[in-house]
Amino acid sequence: MKIARSVSRPVPAGLAPLLAALLLLPLPACSRETAAPRPVSPRGALTSEEQAVISLFEQSSASVAYITTEMVQRGVFGGAEVSQGAGSGFVWDATGHVVTNFHVVKGARRVFVQLDAGRPIEAEVVGGAPEYDLAVLRLASVPRSLRPVPLGSSRDLRIGQTVYAIGNPFGLQRTLTKGLVSALDRELPTANFREVAGVIQTDAAINPGNSGGPLLDSAGRLIGVNSAIRSTSGSSSGIGFAIPVDLVNRVVPSLINRGQAPLPGIGVTPISPDQVARAGISGVVLGAVGRGTPAASAGLQPYNPQTGDLGDIIVAVNGRTVPTLSGFVSELERAGIGATVELTVRRGDKERRVRVKVIDLRG
């Protein structure tokens, strides 16, 4: 067995002084780079467009409400469960009225309104119009700093105008989105086979929680109430709808004063559109005609279940075809209460025209 041994060898005489000098030199310190914040490049002034949008938001956002609701629903096993909902709204006047969508507060046991960064204030529903998807709330305590949203007009809107939506999508308060007026005169189905006519279509992002919030023009004026989106996912896909402000300005005062909105009609009870469609009939089939109504004065005859006679079928209003009940109602809404409309009525193979006054069925 061999054992390895270390063997020391003498340093050559010529290298000894050099090695001695190297041993006396200080060892270099380990180098480490120290990172420092980069200097900030001056931005310069905001563009005039950016400044205008910022000013619009700062002036308008305090008027936008975050609405939460409590509802009692039947549980899975028959018990009562309390559920919560949320939406948006806006200040209508200095006396504490707040406007929102009817579907936001429908069936609510309690309603709370939060303005700007303040505390939630309990509110009561003073009026609702499911036919227009509008409702009015009254604050239990009215802050002194209430700032109503300035009103604009939807009559003179143009496709391509810039619009802004402020609301609380997914509960994220005071969210601003920007878009264009994508189309005008759309129709929005609501309740009782009715549709809101003259609806504004926009590509400003509108998501769940935006319902009831304001749609503003570039001057910060209210031009519509955001009400619905068209999407397969339930989130914004660039197609949103707003109830036009001209209609809102007619309905809201009535909700404040009477608790309900005027309902244009001529005094007929139509047969269910589903039954009419299944029978392959185009137009409005009358199930009944009220005594003393404009329809009765015009001589309109309803369906006779004993003989099977369809009676008078309304097929057009003021020259516009109305293949369904919703189209008929939209035309009456377009004409307005107090107006006289010309109905095209078909009976058998014959058509005739009659003039009928539009009345408030709730009057």
Q: Can you give the pLDDT at residue 114? A: 92
Q: Can you give the pLDDT at residue 28? A: 62
Rounded CA gap, 286 and 176, in Å? 47
Q: Which two tokens stand for residue 87?
A: 């939406």
Rounded CA gap, 208 and 233, in Å? 11
Q: Is the pLDDT of residue 203 over 50?
A: yes
- Angle CA(356)–CA(251)–CA(115) in degrees, nearest 5? 170
Q: Which structural domains are found in the chain, ordered by start?
A: 59-139 (2.40.10.10), 162-258 (2.40.10.10), 264-360 (2.30.42.10)
Q: Is the pLDDT of residue 6 over 70?
A: no
Contact 119, 78 (CB under 8 A): no
Across 73-99, average pLDDT:
81
Is residue 133 part of the annotated active site? The answer reads: yes
Tell me the residue length of the chain.
Answer: 363
> For the segment 291-328, what is each residue's pLDDT rounded down to a tens digit?
999 999 999 999 999 998 999 999 999 999 999 887 88
Is residue 203 part of the annotated active site? The answer reads: no
> For the segment 63-76, what is each residue's pLDDT rounded down to a tens digit?
999 999 988 766 66
By C-alpha distance, which of 285, 294, 278, 349 is closest to 315?
285
Instruction: Write the DSSP assignment of 196-256 as a string of letters.
Output: EEEEEEE-S---TT-TT-EEEETTS-EEEEEEEE--SSSS--S-EEEEEHHHHHHHHHHHH
Q: Is the pLDDT of residue 277 over 90?
A: no
List the catalytic residue out of 60, 182, 211, 330: 211
Is residue 103 part of the annotated active site? The answer reads: yes
List the catalytic residue out of 103, 182, 203, 217: 103
> For the segment 96-123, what is each residue's pLDDT rounded down to a tens digit?
999 999 999 998 999 999 998 778 999 9
List the catalytic residue out of 63, 88, 97, 133: 133
pLDDT band at 78 (very low <50, low <70, confident <90, very high): low
Q: Which residue has the higher pLDDT, 24 or 99?
A: 99
Beta-carbon-side half-sphere exposure of residue 325 (alpha carbons within 13 Å): 20
